[in-house]
């Protein structure tokens, strides 16, 4: 069986705007610890590296030290609270479903590689009715490695039956770009996700402004037009 060209998506800030529910859950944790809730506008600097990092960052901006034992307790609380309502205030970005359908019709396998725990990842994909689009879904705890370790991405591609030589990572953050680069895989990024600096400054291979551009961008990277031969000049 031949391997398929593959498009691998990050989840938070790439496929879906999930910050409202993530920040809501973080604020439950902060209020539980007698700290003030943080506004949704802080999501771009807080979200994107997993729940533990989110809690650490939330406490840091709140000015409260956080020891490892407390962090682990709050992390477990976060996982439980978030699982109870992962997506009631979240939404897919415009054009996501049409873009995935166009890629699938063109012969590309699709997969998800995210630092969100696999339980919450699957709950969100099921909530939006898009689970069936993906040949593989990998969360932070699916393997012994997670982004920015390139093995998280390469193992996801392998699980999906994809060809790593014809693969592209779709993301929104430094973590996605670093992971793809370490795996020797090109990246396409969106500018509306969760990053603390403009995504263009991180130099992914391409930046798209809307998912309407994704199919063409993937083909541009994975199926470049052949160069004109000298005799044709």
pLDDT 10s digits, 131-187: 999 999 999 999 999 999 999 999 999 999 999 999 999 999 999 999 999 999 999
| Active site (annotated) includes residue 205 | no
- Give strand pairing partners of 138: 113
When pLDDT is cut at 50, 70 and 90, the band that residue 206 belongs to is very high
CATH number for 4-17+90-222 (one of 3.40.50.1000, 3.40.920.10, 3.40.50.300, 1.10.150.20): it is 3.40.50.1000
CA distance 12 to 18: 6
pLDDT (0 to 100) of residue 231: 41
4-17+90-222 and 19-84 share one fold: no
CA distance 122 to 7: 18
173, two tokens: 């953050």
Q: Quote the percentage of the chain above a pLDDT of 70.
A: 96
Domain 19-84, CATH: 1.10.150.240
pLDDT (0 to 100) of residue 225: 59
Domain ranges of the chain: 4-17+90-222, 19-84
When pLDDT is cut at 50, 70 and 90, the band that residue 50 belongs to is confident
Residue pair 171/180 in contact (Cβ under 8 Å)? The answer is: yes
pLDDT of residue 229 exceeding 60:
no
Q: Euclidean distance between the first and final Cα of the chain, in Å?
A: 40
From the list 10, 12, 21, 176, the catalytic residue is: 10
pLDDT 10s digits, 75-99: 999 999 999 999 999 999 999 999 9
When pLDDT is cut at 50, 70 and 90, the band that residue 47 belongs to is confident
When pLDDT is cut at 50, 70 and 90, the band that residue 196 belongs to is confident
pLDDT (0 to 100) of residue 226: 57
When pLDDT is cut at 50, 70 and 90, the band that residue 228 belongs to is very low
């Amino acid at each position: 069986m031949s391997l398929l060209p593959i498009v691998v998506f990050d989840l938070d800030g790439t496929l879906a705007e999930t910050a409202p529910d993530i920040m809501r859950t973080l604020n439950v944790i902060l209020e539980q610890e007698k700290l003030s809730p943080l506004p949704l506008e802080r999501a771009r600097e807080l979200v994107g590296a997993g729940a533990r990092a989110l809690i650490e960052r939330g406490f840091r901006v709140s000015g409260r030290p956080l020891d490892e034992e407390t962090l682990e307790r709050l992390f477990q609380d976060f996982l439980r609270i978030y699982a109870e309502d992962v997506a009631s205030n979240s939404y897919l970005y415009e054009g996501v479903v049409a873009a995935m359908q166009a890629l699938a019709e063109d012969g590309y396998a699709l997969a998800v590689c995210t630092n969100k725990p696999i339980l919450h990842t699957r709950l969100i994909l099921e909530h939006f009715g898009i689970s069936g689009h993906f040949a593989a879904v990998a969360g932070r705890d699916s393997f012994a490695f997670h982004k920015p370790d390139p093995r998280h991405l390469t193992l996801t591609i392998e699980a999906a039956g994809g060809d790593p030589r014809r693969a592209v990572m779709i993301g929104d953050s430094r973590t996605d770009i670093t992971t793809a680069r370490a795996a020797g895989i090109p990246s396409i990024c969106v500018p509306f996700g969760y990053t603390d600096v403009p995504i263009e400054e991180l130099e992914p291979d391409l930046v798209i402004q809307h998912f309407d551009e994704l199919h063409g961008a993937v083909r541009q990277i994975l199926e470049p037009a052949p160069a004109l031969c000298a005799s044709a000049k």
